[in-house]
Structure formats: structure tokens, C-alpha cells
Amino acid sequence: MSDALDVGRGVSALWLRAGIGVAAAGVVADLVLIDAPGPTEWVAAVLGVLCVLLPASPVALLLILLAASAAALGADEPFSAGVLVLIPLIHLLHLASALAAVLPRGLGWTRGRWSGPRAGRSRSKAEWVSL
């Protein structure tokens, strides 16, 4: 008998991209609410879309730098609610981008079937646990 713990099936990298989209949308909404200077909101929106499409690129870093500088210049107080909300959003964006960059895009479960390598052959329970 194996001592492996069956934790069930995992989620695909597409869910991480959805998390990146939610975090990027939150950053853009926060920049709109704190009245960021200039066309910062539009640039942040474009960078947010690029973060979802290209998680392995430095676009997330550019969005983080843009949000931090806009919050520093646009916020009335250093500990205002708009600035404090950016902290968890930026952490979520950074971590989800890093994880989505490591995981292959199509790997995971689709419609109840494994879509990874060797998807056509049947597997034993021990092989499913080791995935």
C-alpha cells in the first residue's frame, strides 16, 4: 500500500490567469478611485490585459511599478485606503503571474479528462496519484 496522500485533481493554469485578471482589474479600479495622474488608468488597463496574456513576461512588474508610483503621486495620505488595498492586490498579481509562468497553459483537467502528456492511455490509481 502506498503512503501517498490523494489530494484530488488540480486546477489548470487558466484559473491562475483568471486570478491575474481579477488582480489586474482590481489594481486598475483602485487607480481610478484614487484619481491617478494623467493617462495612468489606460496604461494600467493595457498592462493588465497583457499580464493575462503573457504571464511569463515582465509586464506584471511594469504594472506593479506603475501602480506604486501612481499611488505615491496621486494618494492624499500615505496610509489611505486606496494605497492599502494595493498591497494584497499586487501580491496576488505577482504570485499568480509567477505560478502561471511556470505551469503549462493547457495542462490540467478539461471536461473531466486529463489533457496532459500521454492523455490517450488508461492509468492505474497509483499513476493518477503520482501526477
**For residue 72, which of 104, 40, 115, 25 has the smallest C-alpha distance?**
40
Q: Which amino acid is at 20?
A: I
- Per-domain residue ranges of the chain: 13-107
Residue 82 confidence (pLDDT) above 60: yes
Q: Which residues contact 130 (CB under 8 A, 6 or more apart)?
A: 4
**Per-residue pLDDT tens digits for 38-52:** 799 999 999 999 999
Across 24-125, the runs of DSSP E, i.e. the strands, are 109-110, 113-114
> Which residue matches cell numbers 473531466?
112
Q: Rounded to whole angstroms, how far apart are CA atoms 113 and 111? A: 6
Burial 111-121 (b: 16+ CB within 10 A, else e): eeebeeeeeee
**Per-residue pLDDT tens digits for 13-24:** 678 888 999 999
User: In Å, how far are 67, 71, 103, 104 from 9, measured between CA atoms?
Assistant: 35, 40, 15, 16
- Between 106 and 52, residue with greater pLDDT: 52
Specify the pLDDT at position 56: 82
Binned at pLDDT 50, 70 and 90, residue 64 comes out as: very high
> In the predicted model, what is the mean pLDDT of residues 69-96?
87
Q: Rounded to whole angstroms, how far apart are CA atoms 12 and 73? A: 38
Binned at pLDDT 50, 70 and 90, residue 109 comes out as: very low
